Structure 1
Amino acid sequence: MPDIEGQRDPQPETGYRPRRLEGPVLAGVVPGQGLAVLHRAVDLAHGLGVGLVCAYADPTVISEEEPGGRVELLSIDPDAVDDDSVQVRADLLDGLRGELSEAGITWSFAALSGEPAHALASYAREVGASLIVVGTREDGLAHRFEERIAGSVAVRLGHSQDVPVVVVPLAHRRRRLRGDS
């Protein structure tokens, strides 16, 4: 049927054509977290044929870019000992190395600063992530209190950006990611 200018309407779309996901899987990791999040992220990265980026977002530090592009993470509390957050990141990285040593995928670790949902969403855009993998809250009064105060990272991520979010249940997982200092 002709349109207003006498030209034919363009052909209607024939349906969705899938595209290959090429960006890495971004896994939000925290010290002491159930390994199910990491394992599902590895499974997805392996199945998609992409890399894995494990990111720890620390709300107690801020990023400061130094000349030359180096980024330093500094505590937001001037009385805090910076060694604590450095040690937490180092222990977390050691735990990831131990768990991923034979996974057969390319992976990296990123230490982020700020509120976790915002930091993960920003980093997902920066690295062109195909999807983000996070866990549900853990059982226990402390975790419920923390979620009530800060909100659910998974829910905030699901509402704040365009990258799909995979939420892994953690309620009854026993094995944990090393890194609790």
Structure 2
Amino acid sequence: MDETAATPEPDGGETAIPQPNVLVGVTPGQSEVVLREATLLADRLGAALVCAHVDASRYITDVLPDGSVLSVPLDPDLGDAESPQFDPELAEHVRDVVGREPAPAGRERQLIFRALVGDPALALAQLGETAQSTYFVVGTRRSGLRAGMKEFFGGSVAVHLAHRQIRPVLVVPTAPVRQSDHPLPWEPGPDAPA
């Protein structure tokens, strides 16, 4: 792995994002399957893997001449303006997951980190446009009432990306449900008489 490209850095950092690249949204506690699938896709394409984390609790206040940004928390009592930083623990977790996948023969993986702020779908779409990403990779939300309500009112990042920009979006199921566990109303269920 190219360590200079793997150093966590703020969005707009010195490491240029090469072509082609696959952009994956990463969050703490996210299912590892999303990152594994993004890694495999980047490997198949011979592309760099750009791992972006979006802090939705902050918003941009200023864009500096070098392209970096200053942001403040939505709650003004929580802090001052600062450049977003990629969480070192999340970066270490990403390196660990990516490192478990066998690297393609004769090629070193390029792993780049970007810390973003604001609405996740808009921030990812903007980075994808700037970096001219080949694909977006995002995971589905966890199931449950809270996640369902949040998705109902805010919409999912995957849906927003699929409808509001031009790049293909690979949505990785993080908690797949086998069809046999939940048959359609007209299909016989597992308890149906034979």
Shorter-chain-normalised TM-score: which range?
Answer: 0.7 to 0.9
Task: Give me the CA root mean square deviation.
Answer: 2.3
Identity %: 40
In the alignment, does 2:143 pair up with 1:143?
Answer: no
Deviation at 1:101, TM superposition (A): 3.5
TM-score (norm 2): 0.69
Match for residue 65 of structure 1 among 63, 66, 69: 63
CA contact (8 A) 2:125 2:165 kept: yes
Deviation at 1:81, TM superposition (A): 5.1
In the alignment, does 2:62 pair up with 1:92?
Answer: no
Paired with 2:137 and 2:46, the residues of 1 have a C-alpha distance of 16
Match for residue 51 of structure 2 among 51, 54, 71: 54
In the alignment, does 2:124 pair up with 1:120?
Answer: yes
CA contact (8 A) 1:31 1:88 kept: no
CA contact (8 A) 1:24 1:50 kept: yes
Deviation at 1:71, TM superposition (A): 2.8
Cα 1:45–1:143 change in 2 (3 A) is same
Task: Name the counterpart of 1:74.
Answer: 72
Paired with 1:145 and 1:65, the residues of 2 have a C-alpha distance of 33
Cα 1:155–1:50 change in 2 (3 A) is same
TM-score (norm 1): 0.73
Deviation at 1:73, TM superposition (A): 3.5
Match for residue 170 of structure 1 among 170, 174, 181: 174
Question: Structure 1 stretch 145-154 or stretch 88-97: which is displaced more?
Answer: 88-97
Task: Name the counterpart of 1:44.
Answer: 41
Deviation at 1:141, TM superposition (A): 2.0
Unpaired segments ≥5 residues, structure 1 = 1-21, 174-181
Task: Name the counterpart of 2:111.
Answer: 107
Paired with 2:166 and 2:39, the residues of 1 have a C-alpha distance of 21
Paired with 1:125 and 1:88, the residues of 2 have a C-alpha distance of 20
Secondary structure (helix, strand or coil) at the match of 1:117 reads helix
Unpaired segments ≥5 residues, structure 2 = 1-18, 104-108, 178-194
Cα 1:59–1:24 change in 2 (3 A) is same
Paired with 2:78 and 2:150, the residues of 1 have a C-alpha distance of 21
CA contact (8 A) 1:135 1:167 kept: yes
Paired with 1:162 and 1:144, the residues of 2 have a C-alpha distance of 26
Show CA shifts across 1:84-127 (max 9, x none). xx798232122112222354311111111111111111110000
